[in-house]
C-alpha cells in the first residue's frame, strides 16, 4: 500500500506545482515588458562634428584673428573661471569695439545637457545648431544691463561650451535680441574652430 501511495502523492504534488489559475502568471511564464537597459534615449550618441574634451581647451584659443575682426571684437583675454562650472573650468572675456555688448566663453566641466535641462528648465531652452553641434539658447536677466543671452554648445558628453552675450553695459540701445545675435555669431565662430581640435 505504501508503494502505491508514494507515486500518487508525488503525482499530486507535481500537478499542484504546474497548475495555474487564469490570469495569474507563474514564475516560469511571466508576461510584461523586457527589462530596461542603459541604452535609453537619454544616453543615445550625440551627433557632433567632433567630441572635444573641454578640459584641455583654452576658450580664448578658439577665437581666430579673422573671427576677431569679423565679429568686431576689441579685446579677447582670459578671465577668472566660475567655480560652479567645475574644477578646471576656463573662461575667456571679449569686448566689442562698439561698446554696446560684452561676451564671455566658459568651459562647463561638471555636467552636460541633462544637467542644463534640470537647472535651467527645458521650457526655457531653445534648440539651435551651432557649427554642426547641437546647442541650446536661453535669455536671462543680468543686473545692471538690458539682459543676456546664453548659448550652450554640446561639445562633449557631460561638458558644455557656454557663450554669453551681455547687452547694455551703459548703452541704452543694446537689446537682449542684439546680445543673442552676438552670442550666436561668436558661438558659430568658436564652434567651427572647436571641431578642428
Rounded (5°) CA angle 35-38-41:
100
Lowest-confidence region among 14-18, 95-99, 115-119, 134-138: 14-18
What is the structure's pLDDT at 170?
67
Domain ranges in the chain?
54-194
Could you tell me which of 165, 171, 166, 155 has the C-alpha nearest to residue 185? 165
Distance in angstroms (rounded) separating the CA atoms of residues 156 and 159: 5
Q: Which of 26-35, 101-110, 121-130, 157-166 has the weakest average pLDDT?
A: 26-35
Mean pLDDT of 127-131: 97
pLDDT at 125 over 50: yes
User: If you classify domain 54-194 with CATH, what class do you get?
Assistant: alpha beta
Instruction: Report the alpha-carbon distance of residue 181 to residue 114 in Å, rounded.
Output: 25
Confidence of residue 142 (pLDDT cuts 50, 70, 90): confident
pLDDT at residue 169 in the model: 67
Provide the whole-model pTM.
Answer: 0.76
The average confidence (pLDDT) of the chain is 82
Tens of pLDDT along 2-55?
Answer: 444 433 333 333 334 444 434 333 333 333 333 322 323 356 788 999 999 999
Amino acid at each position: 500500500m505504501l508503494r502505491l501511495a508514494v507515486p500518487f502523492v508525488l503525482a499530486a504534488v507535481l500537478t499542484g506545482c504546474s497548475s495555474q489559475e487564469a490570469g495569474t502568471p507563474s514564475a516560469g511564464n511571466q508576461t510584461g515588458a523586457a527589462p530596461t537597459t542603459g541604452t535609453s534615449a537619454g544616453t543615445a550618441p550625440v551627433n557632433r562634428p567632433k567630441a572635444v574634451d573641454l578640459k584641455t581647451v583654452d576658450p580664448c584659443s578658439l577665437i581666430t584673428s579673422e573671427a576677431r575682426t569679423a565679429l568686431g571684437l576689441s579685446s579677447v583675454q582670459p578671465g577668472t573661471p566660475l567655480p560652479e562650472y567645475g574644477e578646471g573650468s576656463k573662461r575667456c572675456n571679449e569686448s566689442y569695439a562698439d561698446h554696446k555688448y560684452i561676451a564671455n566663453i566658459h568651459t562647463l566641466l561638471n555636467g552636460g545637457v541633462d544637467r542644463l535641462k534640470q537647472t535651467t528648465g527645458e521650457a526655457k531652452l531653445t534648440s539651435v545648431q551651432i557649427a554642426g553641434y547641437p546647442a541650446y539658447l536661453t535669455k536671462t536677466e543680468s543686473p545692471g544691463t538690458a539682459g543676456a543671452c546664453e548659448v550652450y554648445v554640446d561639445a562633449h558628453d557631460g561638458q558644455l561650451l557656454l557663450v554669453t552675450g551681455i547687452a547694455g553695459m551703459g548703452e541704452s540701445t543694446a537689446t537682449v535680441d542684439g546680445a543673442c545675435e552676438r552670442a550666436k555669431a561668436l558661438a558659430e565662430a568658436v564652434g567651427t574652430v572647436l571641431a578642428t581640435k
